[in-house]
Amino acid sequence: MIISPVTPNRWLTLLVVVVGSFLTVLDLVIINIVMPSITNYFHSTIRESGWVISGYTLAMSVMLMCSGWFARKYGFKRLYIIGIVVFTIGSLLCSLSPNLNTLIAMRMLQGLGAGIITPLSMSIIALNFTGKERGFALGLLIMVIGVTVSIGPLLGGYLVEIDKWDWIFKMNVPIGVIILFMALFLMNEYRDKATHKLDYIGVLLLLVWAPLSLYVLSSAVEWWLILILIISFSLFVLRMIYARYPLINILIFKNRDFVLAFIVMFCFGIVSQGGSYILSEYLLLGMHYSAYKTGLLFVPIGIIQGCMAPITGSLIPRYGSRVFIFVGLVILLIYTYLSSHLNLETPHWYILLTLCIRGFGIGFVSTSLTNLALNGAIDTEIDSVAGVINTIKQLSGSFSVAIITLILVANSSHGMAVSNSGYVLATDSSFLFLFGVVIFAIISILLIRNSKKTLVSNKVN
């Protein structure tokens, strides 16, 4: 059991956590704008360069499942510092990468660091704050994330305009060093000596089937690779069922409502990350917008999300999470439908309108969906459930990029180049796919019986 007294330097600790989260989120949102530059610089195909995004989110997903255990075993402060060091070194090596394969490998190293920083941010806030202060601190973190979503594409666009796209990695280094020293001297250590053993076999199986599933999805592969995927995933599921201390507490999924929430999360991750990826490609390479102009279009999303998060959060206790998720998904349904009619003559205001609609949809769903899954989880369940939630978000983004890359490749010439009309067709086809995903999510949320009740039973321990 972790004892978490309120600490006098908690506000400076919050500053460390907020800036760390800013860096990891920034690397997720800024990369879409610079992807065409990376593809051109390394003379790579669309499919090959797509792994710059997928590699990061995939490595992050794997680490998300383990970081809670490592933090309880070896200390939250110690692991957070390790995460900052890994992320900073990965950023430096990304900026020095001589070829695409090296860049992908270093992005995966970055992702490992981000997979430590992201889940520990909320845990450290929970350990340092109580009551209303905790709500304020979490709200501030969510607000900063919203601002990052806005300025990330804008900053990326500016760096591309001045032909300094590699600075999206270089700028992380000095900030990472500052956070490192702040964490060393300001954070308090928390540890749970009663932590059980880590399921190393489960981790190993996850490392096999997760990347292999993306590779199979995005490439033409031999039958034996598909067979290995099926076997490794089946063994992973069996391991989660019969292991004494599984990587994922499989009992969570005995709850019908949690499974449905899991499905909605996966769909939401596909729509939110996939929509950003394909729209950036359409604007930059189909409409020939400048990178800076493209970044400006994304600014309202983060502002709207940041404003909607505290409003939605304050109303959830009265109306329940499901109402806001349903409303948000309907808004996203409108967004994907309108976006599936983009063409080379689409006016600027129409694109901006669809993005503003998207901002409201994500603002309604994001906070409500996390609350729905975490609602009622006791202290010993939080790390497990939060790990599943964060992993779902990242894996769904990776799958989304892989699928949309396939659509882009289908409209290209040997995977190398896509015509203007090809980008339009790929964009419309992608948003029709996302439209179907949202419909599936809406059906799932309607099947959840009562969002005001605990999703994760206290028996799941």
pLDDT in tens, 121-148: 877 887 777 766 776 777 778 778 878 8
32 to 39, 167, 279, 390, 396: CA distances (angstroms) = 11, 14, 9, 20, 16
pLDDT score of 385: 65
User: Of the candidates 154, 175, 194, which is a domain's last residue?
Assistant: 194
Token digits of residue 278: 């394909």
Do 159 and 220 lie in a common domain? no
The pairing of beta strand 412-413 with beta strand 417-418? antiparallel
Please report whether residue 1 resides in a domain: no
> For position 418, what pLDDT does the model report?
57
Per the structure, how many domains does the chain have? 3
More confident residue, 420 or 9: 9
Query: Are 42 and 49 a contacting pair, CB within 8 Å?
Result: yes
Find all residues with CB under 8 Å of 297, minimum gap 6, and list them: 153, 283, 289, 351, 352, 355
Q: Is residue 60 part of a domain?
A: yes
- Same domain, residue pair 304 and 433: yes
Question: What is the residue range of 429's domain?
Answer: 251-461
Q: What is the pLDDT of residues 145-189, one digit of tens each?
A: 878 877 888 888 889 888 888 899 999 999 999 999 989 888 888
Residue type at 32?
Answer: N
CATH number at residue 48: 1.20.1250.20
Band of pLDDT at residue 422, cut at 50, 70 and 90: confident
Q: Is the pLDDT of residue 378 over 70?
A: no
**Cβ–Cβ < 8 Å for 44, 182:** no
In angstroms, the CA 106 to CA 205 distance is 22
Last residue of a domain, one of 246, 276, 311: 246
Same domain for 64 and 92, yes or no, is yes
> Quick one: average pLDDT of 233-246?
84
In angstroms, the CA 76 to CA 89 distance is 20
CA distances from 209 to 236, 267, 352, 399 (A): 8, 20, 39, 13
The verdict on 108 and 205 lying in the same domain is no
Q: Are residues 189 and 40 in the same domain?
A: yes
Number of C-beta neighbours around residue 32 at 10 A: 24
**Residue 19 CB neighbours (<10 A):** 17
Considering the domain architecture, whether residues 18 and 126 belong to the same structural domain is answered as yes
Q: Is residue 178 part of a domain?
A: yes
Per DSSP, the chain holds a count of helices (H) and strands (E) of 18, 2
354 and 325 fall within a common domain: yes
For 460, phi and psi rounded to 5 degrees?
A: -75, 30
- Contact between 352 and 287 under an 8 Å Cβ cutoff? The reply is no
Whether 312 and 340 share a structural domain: yes
Q: Which amino acid type is present at position 315? A: L
Residue 27 lies inside a defined structural domain of this protein: yes
The pTM of the full predicted model, rounded to 2 decimals, is 0.78
10-20: per-residue pLDDT in tens? Answer: 888 888 888 89
- Count Cβ atoms below 10 Å from residue 26 Cβ, excluding itself: 21
| Percent of all residues in the chain with a pLDDT value above 90, rounded to a whole number | 21
The residue from 157, 176, 194 where one domain ends is 194
Q: Identify the band that residue 305 occupies on the pLDDT scale cut at 50, 70 and 90.
A: confident
> In the numeric block, which tokens belong to residue 174?
């000095």
User: Does residue 49 belong to any structural domain of this protein?
Assistant: yes
Residues 332, 355: contact at Cβ < 8 Å? no
> Do 264 and 233 sit in the same domain of this protein?
no
In terms of pLDDT, which residue wins out, 203 or 440?
440
**Is 23 part of any domain?**
yes
Q: What contacts 303, CB < 8 A, 6 or more positions away?
A: 146, 147, 150, 359
* One-letter amino acid of 354: T
Beta-bridge partner residues of 412: 418
Does some domain include residue 2?
no
As a whole-number percent, the residues of the chain with pLDDT over 70 amount to 86
CA distance from start to end of the chain: 14
Residues 120 and 205 placed together within one structural domain of the fold: no
Identify whether residues 229 and 267 lie together within a single domain: no
Instruction: Tell whether 264 and 239 lie within a shared domain.
Output: no
What is the largest distance, in Å, between two alpha-carbon atoms of the chain?
Answer: 62
Q: Which residue has the higher pLDDT, 284 or 380?
A: 284
